Amino acid sequence: STPAAITSGIAAGARRGLLIKGGAALETIGRVGAIAFDKTGTLTQGRPQVTDLVSLTGNERSLLGMAAAVENGSSHPIARAILDRAASDGIPLRPARGQKALPGRAAQAVVGGKLIEVGSPRHAVESCGPGNLPADRITTLEDEGKTVVVVLADTQPVGLMALRDEPRPDALRGIAALRQLGVRSVMLTGDNARTGQAIGRKLGIEVKADLLPENKLSEIAALKVGAPVAMVGDGINDGPALAAADVGIAMGGGTDVALETADAALLGNRVEGVADLIALSRATMTNIH
């Protein structure tokens, strides 16, 4: 291939906020058959809000105070949402010790002598069995596209919280642009299938849900059928997935980790930038052949 064409392709990208790390990445991106997207912060705003608080024991303020104590110090978007809600409701944090993250599942800590866990319904079912959870309530909230977390005290459910993370308007346009280019888009999420599908319907994207972090890597491997696969993420929790794809694309200003792991970065915080990258690659390679 022609180094001059590659160099000018990379320069043309840089002028439009599409940073590409080298000729191999520029060449590969135009040939991808599928793009895997991280959900939170990439297809959604990444700033969930607590919309529903359901105490199973009767005291919403104490539920929120316990959950916030568990999430204190975590940078997970769900943790930030719960801490923000406790602060805006004026609920003081209770002392907690032994804070621990179970990635893709839950956060836990000891509060008031009890092991308090805030986590996915699946995690709750594994702890307390299915019988003790208000399944209809959870289903209704999830069908509204909300993420439900269950609060457990010594493995018994004491409450639910639902959180809404709005889809990004540019995600809808970006996925439509990729479809026009003949590229398959798939959303990978640790969220449950109902929530994932509700968001996927709004965005017109195929959904793989209920994925633990390691399952995201095997989904990426499974998408590599006959053509390379790209992964788009905001770099929060998705460094390994960016690295597992043939082309890792960091979006959203990007964390340092994302920019180190990724093959390309979109400075403008727009999903349409992914389609722009593909078009740029195809135009550059056409000039060469």
Residues that bind ligand ADP (CB under 6 A): 39-40, 71, 74, 76, 78-79, 101, 104-107, 118-120, 147, 149, 189-191, 237
Residue with Cβ nearer ligand ADP (30 or 65): 65
Residue with Cβ nearer Mg ion (38 or 276): 38
Q: With 0-12 CB in 10 A as exposed, 13-18 as middle and 19+ as buried, what is 184?
A: middle
Q: Could you tell me the end-to-end alpha-carbon distance of the chain, in angstroms, rounded to an integer?
A: 8
Specify whether the CB–CB gap between 175 and 204 falls below 8 A. Answer: yes
Looking at 38, 165, 191, 263, which residue is catalytic? 38
Number of residues that bind Mg ion (CB under 5 A): 4
- Minimum CB distance to ligand ADP, residue 233 (Å): 9
Residue with Cβ nearer ligand ADP (19 or 116): 116
261 in contact with Mg ion (CB under 5 A): no
User: Interhelix angle for 272-288 vs 169-180, to 10°?
Assistant: 30
Q: Which does 110 bind (CB under 5 to 8 A by kind): ligand ADP, Mg ion, none?
A: none
Q: Where are the alpha helices (DSSP H) in the chain?
A: 3-15, 23-29, 60-71, 77-88, 121-128, 135-143, 169-180, 193-203, 213-223, 239-244, 256-261, 272-288
The interface with Mg ion within residues 12-51 (CB under 5 A) comprises 38, 40-41
Name which of 196, 87, 221 is nearest 142 in CA terms. Answer: 196
Specify whether the CB–CB gap between 10 and 1 falls below 8 A. Answer: no
- Among the listed ranges 89-97, 229-237, 246-254, 259-267, the one in contact with Mg ion (CB under 5 A) is 229-237
89 is an active site residue: no
- Among the listed ranges 19-27, 47-55, 234-242, 267-275, the one in contact with Mg ion (CB under 5 A) is 234-242
Q: How many CB atoms lie within 10 A of CB 76?
A: 17
- Minimum CB distance to ligand ADP, residue 12 (Å): 33
The residues of the shown chain that bind Mg ion, judged by CB under 5 A, are: 38, 40-41, 236
Residue numbers annotated as active site: 38
